[in-house]
Structure 1
Amino acid sequence: MTRDPLSDLIGELLSILRTGTHDVLWSRYSTVEELIHELETLRQRIDDGNATAREQFKVLCLPTGALDEIAISSGWADTWVRLVDGKYRS
C-alpha cells in the first residue's frame, strides 16, 4: 500500500513542531502538545484510509488556518509555503 502524501506532510510538520518554540496564540490550540496530539491522531486515521480525517487536515492547512497562523507567528512561514506550495501541493 502506498503511503498517503498527507501523512508524509504531517510527519514533516511534527518534526518542526517538536523542535523549538511555537506560538499557538492565533490558533484554536492551547499548547503545541495539543496540536501535536491532533496531528498524530489525524495521521493515523489518514493512514487507515479515513477520508474525513484527510478533509479535517486540509482545513488546518488553509490560508489563515491553524497551521498557517502557527507557521507565520512562529517564524517558519517560508518553510510552510515550501511544503504546501511545493512538495505537497496536491
Structure 2
Amino acid sequence: MTPDRLADLVGDLLSILRTGLHDVTWSRYRAVEEVISDLEHLRERIDEGDPPARRELKLLCAPTGVIDEIAISSGWAETWTKLVGKYRSELR
C-alpha cells in the first residue's frame, strides 16, 4: 500500500464532495465543508507518511462509516461502490 494511492482516493472523494449538495445528517459532521476540511488534512498527513492518518481514512471509508453514509444519503452510493472497488487493496 502506498501513500499516493490513498491520497488519490482522498482526491477523488474531494472532487465529489466539492460538487452538488450532500446530506451529512447521518454522519458526525454538521456540514460538508467539515468533511472536506478533514479529508484535506488527512491527505496532507498521508502524503507525509503518517500511519495514523491512514487508519483514520480507512475508518471513514469503512462500510457504514462516515463516507458510506454520506454517499448513500446523498445519492452517489453507486459511485462510492466503484471507488471502493478501485481502491480495495489500499482500504484493507
TM above 0.5, one fold?
Answer: yes
SS of alignment partner, residue 49 of structure 2:
coil
In the alignment, structure 1 segments of 5+ residues that lack a partner are none
Moved over 2 A (4+): none
Residue-by-residue CA offset, 1:9-35 (whole Å, 9 max, x unaligned): 000000000000000000000000000
Q: Does 1:32 align with 2:32?
A: yes
How do 1:48-87 and structure 2 match up within 5 A? 48-85=48-85, 87=86
The two structures, once aligned, show a CA RMSD in angstroms of 1.0
Q: Give the 3-state SS of the residue equivalent to 2:11 in structure 1.
A: helix
Q: TM-score, normalised by structure 1?
A: 0.95
How far 1:3 sits from its partner (Å)? 5.3
Letter in 1 for 2:60: L
Partner of 1:89: 88
| Percent of residue pairs bearing the same amino acid type | 67
How many Å apart are 1:48 and its aligned residue?
A: 0.3
Query: How far apart, in 2, do the equivalents of 1:3 and 1:59 lie?
Result: 16
Structure having greater relative contact order (Cα 8 Å, sep ≥ 6): 2
Q: Shift in Å at residue 4 of structure 1?
A: 1.8
